[in-house]
Amino acid sequence: MRDEYDFSSAKRANEVPHLAKLQAESESGKSRITIFLDDVLAEFKKRASQSGKGYQTLINEALRHSIAPDSAPITVEVLRKILHEELHVA
């Protein structure tokens, strides 16, 4: 390695197309990450092909619902649980 580097002719990140794109994405509130997934990924890809959404979108929605369960969609299992609880009380 050199002791010093000359960056006087270097371009700013917003002048390099792929870096400008990354900056725009980070300003949109999203972050690019690397994550290792096992067979969960195959399931999300299968669901994505059935729903017409991207698998990354489905993963993001699942994570969002896990941190805010009140905003999660009502599934058949949740509906059954609620009905069971209400019928048990009545």
Residue-wise pLDDT tens digits, 4-62: 999 999 998 889 998 888 777 777 777 778 999 999 999 999 999 999 999 999 999 99
Q: Indicate the number of domains in the chain.
A: 1
The answer as to whether 7 is a domain residue is no
The answer as to whether 33 is a domain residue is yes
The answer as to whether 2 is a domain residue is no
Supply the pLDDT for residue 54.
94
pTM of the model: 0.52
Question: What sign for the dihedral angle of Cα 63, 44, 58, 78?
Answer: negative
Structure tokens at 72: 């999660």
The answer as to whether 5 is a domain residue is no
Domain that holds residue 77: 13-89
C-beta of residue 58 within 8 angstroms of C-beta of residue 49: no
Helix-helix angle 39-51:55-67, to 10 degrees: 110
The answer as to whether 1 is a domain residue is no
